[in-house]
Structure 1
Amino acid sequence: MQSSLLHYSILIIEDNLGDFVLIEDYLHEFLPSSEIYQAPTFSKAKEMLASKDIIYDVILLDLSLPDHSGKKLIEEAIEASGNNTPIIILTGYSSLDFAIESLTIGVADYLLKDELTPIALRKSVLYTIERHKILLNLKESEQRYADLFHFSPQPMWVFDVETLAFLNVNEAAIRHYGYSYDEFLSMTIKDIRPPEDIPLLQAVLTRNKTTHRSFFQAEFRHQKKNGEIIIVDLKSTFIIYRGRAAKLILAHDITANKKYLEEIEHQNQKLREIAWVQSHVVRAPLARLLGLTQFLNEEDLSPQEYKQYLKELHNSASELDIIVKDIVKKTHELKLTK
């Protein structure tokens, strides 16, 4: 977009009317639709900034005012702006050391009045405003990341891919694992693994580094501060964190789910045993019962033989009763808990 079409609100803190008019003329050359405001003293500037009636896009600050000057003026101007409005210094004071110090304090640019031209002012103002917008967007993006990170109900952390040291952890991780924030930052990701699982961790890290995978998901065993072993579904992705290559981790404790599935599998095994009993063990006494009753109906037996067959019927029925009771007992033992 052409600068002549841009509309900004610019505050010039300058007590010298001649300098103000010159700066105003320069600004109007490339920002004709912008609004220019003057504060001849710092107290007036504070009043204008505090009113919030106008949101200024940039402040042009002279370092020698009737009621304030120098480094203290810069610091208080930054404070008065809420540290939200970029400040460009316009001064006749040509000390390089002071210029560097001013930039360190937090000003966006440092321009000498004797060397000021419309082009130099144009570049400084436009670059400063656009750079400030980018920084604000970046800050908002970082804040959104921080909110998602710290307010996540699931444990999350960031670790250095080279040293494996924890760089940041959220509140959920602190609560779930039992370590304090400072304790986490003094540890590496090895410290939350059972000792016997360290070789597996090293193998996974080496494989991921070799394949250059940015996203990874797997199940691992972790160890809490109290020694409890848990199983976690771990998801990781590569990020740059404060200038360092790092991994962002989301850990979901699936120990209870795993236990529940194991119980279901155990119960399924019991059901299979019951089914086998029904299809095999029950069949033997039942087959004898059927055979004996058929034999009694069809054969002409003596009283002694009849008595003997009745005894066999009773024994087979008793055996079947014991088997049925055992099936009922095993069935009652199948209780799912979660």
Structure 2
Amino acid sequence: MIKDKKLYNILIVEDNPGDFLLITDYLEEHINAPNIVHAQSFKETKKCIENTLNKFDVVLLDLSLSDKSGDELIENILEICIDTPVIVLTGYSDIDFSINSISKGIADYLLKDELTGDGLYKSIIYCIERLKKSNELTESEKRYSELFHLSPLPMWVYDIDTLEFLDVNEAAQKHYGYTESEFLQMTLKDIRPQQDMSAFEDQLKIARAHPKEFLSGLFRHIKKNGTIIDVDVQSNFIHYKGRNARVILVNDITDRLEYISAIETKNKELQDIAWLQSHVMRAPVAKIMGIVHLLQRIDLDEVEKSILLNDLNVCATEIDQVIHDIATKTHKARLK
């Protein structure tokens, strides 16, 4: 038999010397060199666990000790074995008691009369791995919670089927004006303008047709005070407390769109000014150039010269008006 060469630190809490030797033999059948610490009472157990030099991978617990036993022993052991799986080894075969022990946080419940080396080793490995995965899940949930609740952007989780808000972060509450309790009594429809309901239903069909895909889009939302805002929404599928849901990240782009609109308006005004300069002013300038050319002819009589000078005055008036229009438009554009 190939033995497990990994180093295991195991605390055996057992006041029966025969049972302790049997458990030790079972461990050594499958583990190459287990580091075994023996405690015979709850007092000794507490001292071993609270010793900072000891970091146990598992605790094997007999339920009948000289100073504590049964439920009281289980509860006290679990209080001090926060990150260590506890496996009960007992001759007490009551099913209800074993179920109750598991519900309190005992990792496994094994009967001594049915114990084998193979069964004990498997239980230890399974319990250690189960705790490891549980801790990883807890850490993952903690990171999600921190990212969610500390996000400077509004975020929420909603039920895909009912559209109910299941969780909202503080940024969403501040930005939309609703309290957390108010949000949790609402659905997505309550933050969409009534005139957008038809488009909202179409968008909802797309989201439900692709429930587990990343989705994004530009929408309009309405705050508690009635203000309508433009938002860039990104969402992804998530299992939340046993429900199919989507987690939403919202970026209010109302100011950005207004700024872009203002830039586009200003560009249009600048184009109008450029058109005035390049087209409207060009006609009277061309006329003036033609009149000057005619006036340079020496064979014009006084009547012809008078007509040309009058035309020259008209063209100068047109240029003055165009310059005035350009100045007015430029001033208005600067004020905006």
| Structure 1 range deviating more: 298-307 or 231-240 | 298-307
| Cα distance between partner residues in 1 of 2:314 and 2:258 | 43
Name the counterpart of 1:21. Answer: 21
What's the offset of the Cα at 1:333?
A: 3.1
Amino acid of the structure 2 residue aligned with 1:47? K
Contact 2:3 2:29 in 1 (8 A): no
Q: Helix, strand or coil for the counterpart of 1:277?
A: helix
Name the counterpart of 2:236. Answer: 237
| Cα distance between partner residues in 2 of 1:100 and 1:241 | 27
Aligned residues: 335
What's the offset of the Cα at 1:308?
A: 5.6
Contact 1:263 1:336 in 2 (8 A): no
Contact 1:174 1:180 in 2 (8 A): yes
Residue 142 to residue 211, structure 1, CA distance change in 2 (3 Å): closer
| Cα distance between partner residues in 2 of 1:73 and 1:335 | 81
| Cα distance between partner residues in 2 of 1:203 and 1:110 | 54
Amino acid of the structure 2 residue aligned with 1:33? A
| Cα distance between partner residues in 2 of 1:197 and 1:247 | 21
What's the offset of the Cα at 1:184?
A: 1.7
What's the offset of the Cα at 1:116?
A: 1.7
Amino acid of the structure 1 residue aligned with 2:57? D
TM-score normalised per structure 1: 0.91
Instruction: Kindly provide the CA deviation profile for residues 198-254 of structure 1, in whole angstroms up to 9, marking residues without a partner as x.
Output: 221211111232355611111000111222111111111222222211112111111
Task: Provide structure 2 residue ranges, at least 5 long, that are not aligned to the other structure.
Answer: none
Contact 2:211 2:237 in 1 (8 A): no
% same residue: 49
Name the counterpart of 1:39. Answer: 39
Matches within 5 A, 1:77-88: 77-81=77-81, 83-88=82-87
Amino acid of the structure 2 residue aligned with 1:134? K
Name the counterpart of 2:52. Answer: 52
What's the offset of the Cα at 1:142?
A: 2.1
| Cα distance between partner residues in 2 of 1:129 and 1:167 | 33
Instruction: Kindly provide the CA deviation profile for residues 160-212 of structure 1, in whole angstroms up to 9, marking residues without a partner as x.
Output: 11111111222222222222222222211111111221221211111232355
What is the CA RMSD across the aligned residues, in angstroms? 2.2
What's the offset of the Cα at 1:3?
A: 5.2
What's the offset of the Cα at 1:307?
A: 5.3
Name the counterpart of 1:106. Answer: 105
| Structure 1 range deviating more: 99-108 or 57-66 | 57-66
| Cα distance between partner residues in 2 of 1:211 and 1:93 | 53
Contact 1:264 1:336 in 2 (8 A): no
| Cα distance between partner residues in 2 of 1:231 and 1:292 | 58
1:327 correspondence with 2:307: no
Amino acid of the structure 1 residue aligned with 2:53? D
Amino acid of the structure 2 residue aligned with 1:253? D
Instruction: Kindly provide the CA deviation profile for residues 264-313 of structure 1, in whole angstroms up to 9, marking residues without a partner as x.
Output: 11112112212222233212322232222222222545567645644543
TM-score normalised per structure 2: 0.92
